[in-house]
Amino acid sequence: MLNISENSISKLVESNKFKSFKFLKSKDHSKQRMYYGVVLLLLLLIVVFVPWTQNIKGKGYVTTLLPEQRPQPIQSIISGRLENWYVREGNYVKKGDTLIYITEVKNDYFDPNLVQRTQEQVNAKSESITSYDDKVIALRAQLASIKQSKLLKLEQVRNKIIQTKNKISIDSIDLNAYKIKYDISINQYKRTKELHTEGLKSLSALQEKELKQQESYAKYLSQQNKLENQKNMLINFKLELSSTEQEYQQKIAKTNSDIQSALSAKLEATSNTSKLKNKLSNYEQRQRLYYITSPTNGYITKTIKKGTGQLIKEGTDILTIMPSTYDLAVEVYVKPQDLPLLKINDHCRLRFDGWPALVISGWPEKSTGIFSGRIFAIDQHISQNGKYRVLIAPDKSTKKWPENLRVGTGTYTFILLKDVPVWYELWRNLNGFPPDFYRSNEEKQDGKSEKVKTKAPIKSVK
């Protein structure tokens, strides 16, 4: 009762007999508040000394571990016109399956018989190479014949020179003989003339001696002219030897020139044949490129070009294919100040979008619905967003990642560091200090293993 009326009934009712009146009586709650305060303080003291796992948080998305397992854009190596689609989005294709057929748009390749005509040119050039080979063989045979003829001709002229020298020797002897006869005839004529003057010889004898003298002189002159002719002939033969050698040398030089010309023409024909073969190979390969095939087994995820009849340039993305077999990984970005604390094979905890989870970052063993991973790679260069990219692979020693997980799924990541008390973590966050990081190294000394804590090296980040 409130006892606010002037007619009080408190004296008429025994309130001690009713429990409700007992609760209405004022009590002293100071002891209870002190008790609750002490209990709360003890709980706080216990909590602040509980171990807390330091971690680096980051957001990322699911990707693949290897580059060739990521979504691949399919491009055309050549320009063309879309003529036919053989797939659509969501189709599963195998490696080598035809995806698209395109036709030519450059007028240099419009000829439908381009490959056959180029093959005919290659065959013609190949035949010309054979003809040049035959010509070189014939010219070399001709050169050998000329050299043989040269030897024979020079030997013939040398023989004539030897014969002429022999004749000169004989004529020189004959000339001396005629000279002696002429001298004798002169002496006989003089003696006969003296005797004729004295009257001892007749005039006919004198005339006979004079005739013999004239005959001896004529023979002497004839033999002298003959000797001069032989000497002149020797000179001519020597000149003929030189001219013959020069003449054949010119023939040999001309034949060698013809051989070199034939070889040069053969090399040029060979070069042209190689160019034509290169063109032929390019044309054949280009025609194969009209059919764009799948480079791997996978699913068609997106078609960028639409419809048929559309012109495409070389290097333009046409569609995207996702390989059917891939190894999942998570790509996250961390701040430069946290990068020195990370190393390969560090343990991580992951929460994927679409998979419910209860996350207690400081006590990862108490979290549920999260998955484990380990750092697989760390970029050595900062990304455009001002952070460093870290690639996380599944931890095979724990439970597998969800089977329905797809590339591109959002991820919230906790990279686990060392265990510290809660009060230290609160103090560190209030002061804005980076997480401390100590790694345990096993060093064996004298056959005993000792755990040594060493400070992780701090890398300078520009």
Write the DSSP string, 152-212. Answer: HHHHHHHHHHHHHHHHHHHHHHHHHHHHHHHHHHHHHHHHHHHHHHHTSS-HHHHHHHHHH
| 188 & 223 share domain | yes
Is 278 found in the same domain as 136? yes
pLDDT at 404: 83
Assigned domain for 16 exists: no
pLDDT at 303 over 90: no
Q: Quick one: pLDDT at residue 442? A: 37
The answer to whether the CB of 149 falls within 8 A of the CB of 248 is yes
- Looking at the structure, tell me whether residues 359 and 269 fall in a common domain: no
Tell me the CA distances in angstroms from 164 to 70, 134, 150, 231, 306, one per residue in order. 99, 45, 21, 8, 102
Structural domain contains residue 26: no
Same domain, yes or no: 331 and 420: yes
15: in domain: no
Q: What is the pLDDT of residue 315?
A: 86
Residues 222 and 301 in one domain: no
Residue 453 banded pLDDT, cuts 50, 70, 90: very low
Lowest mean pLDDT among 34-48, 194-208, 245-259, 357-371: 357-371
What pLDDT, on the 0 to 100 scale, is given for residue 321?
93
Mean pLDDT on 312-316: 87
Q: Is residue 353 part of a domain?
A: yes
Mean pLDDT of 303-319: 86
| 311, 330: one domain | no
**Domain count of the fold of the chain:** 3
Residue 176 has pLDDT above 80, yes or no: yes
Q: Which of 2-6, 12-16, 93-97, 381-385 has the lowest mean pLDDT?
A: 2-6
Token pair 């002496």 in the structure block, residue: 187
Digit-coded pLDDT (tens) for 69-109: 888 899 988 899 999 999 988 899 999 999 999 998 888 88
* Residue 97 domain boundaries: 72-104+290-322
Query: How confident is the model over 332-355, as a mean pLDDT?
Result: 83
- pLDDT of 207 reads 82
273 shares its domain with 368: no
- Which range, 9-23, 41-55, 207-221, 354-368, has the best average confidence (pLDDT)? 207-221
Q: Is 70 exceeded by the pLDDT of residue 17?
A: no
Confidence at residue 148, expressed as pLDDT on a 0 to 100 scale? 92
Between 224-228, 395-399, 437-441, the lowest mean confidence (pLDDT) is in 437-441
Among 46-55, 243-252, 445-454, whose mean pLDDT is lowest?
445-454
- Residue 63 — left, alpha, or beta (φ > 0 → left; ψ -120 to 50 → alpha)? beta
| Closest CA relative to residue 329, chosen from 406, 266, 381 | 406
Mean pLDDT of 412-438: 68
Do 318 and 372 share a structural domain? no
What pLDDT shows up at residue 413? 83
For residues 348 and 313, membership in a common domain is answered with: no
Residues 317 and 362 in one domain: no
Is residue 258 scored above 50 in pLDDT? yes
C-alpha triplet 83, 86, 88: angle, nearest 5°? 115
Instruction: Please state the rounded mean pLDDT for residues 145-166.
Output: 90
Mean of pLDDT values over 423-443: 58
The pLDDT mean for the chain works out to: 81
Burial of residue 154 (CB within 10 Å: 0-12, 13-18, 19+) is middle
Is 20 inside any structural domain? no
Q: Are residues 140 and 280 in the same domain?
A: yes
| Residue 146 falls inside a structural domain | yes
> Do the domain assignments include residue 131?
yes
**Res 456: pLDDT:** 34
What does the pLDDT read at residue 195?
A: 82
Q: What is the reported pLDDT for 35? A: 80
Domain with residue 97: its CATH number is 2.40.50.100
Rounded Cα distance between 401 and 393, Å, is 10
Q: At what angle do helices 114-198 and 203-288 cross, to 10 degrees?
A: 170
CATH code of the domain containing 340: 2.40.30.170
Q: In the structure, what pLDDT confidence band is assigned to residue 298 with cuts at 50, 70 and 90?
A: very high
Judge if 58 and 81 occupy the same domain: no
CA distance 100 to 321: 13
Assign residue 136 the CATH number of its domain.
1.10.287
326 and 64 Cβ atoms separated by less than 8 Å: yes
What's the pLDDT at 260? 92
CA distance 147 to 136: 16
Task: Give the rounded percent of residues in the chain with a pLDDT score beyond 90.
Answer: 20
Q: Pull the structure tokens for residue 182.
A: 């002429």
pLDDT band at 329 (very low <50, low <70, confident <90, very high): very high
DSSP class per residue in 400-449: PPPTT--TT-EEEEEEEEEEEEHHHHHHHHHHTPPPP-EEEEEEEETTEE
pLDDT for residue 127 is more than 80 = yes
25-29, 76-80, 99-103, 194-198: lowest mean pLDDT where?
25-29
- Is residue 96 in a domain? yes
Which range among 42-51, 134-143, 394-403, 452-461 shows the weakest confidence by mean pLDDT?
Answer: 452-461
Question: Which residue matches tokens 């018989």?
Answer: 113
What pLDDT was estimated at residue 448? 42
* 347-360 confidence digits (pLDDT tens): 888 888 877 766 55
Rounded average pLDDT over 264-292:
90
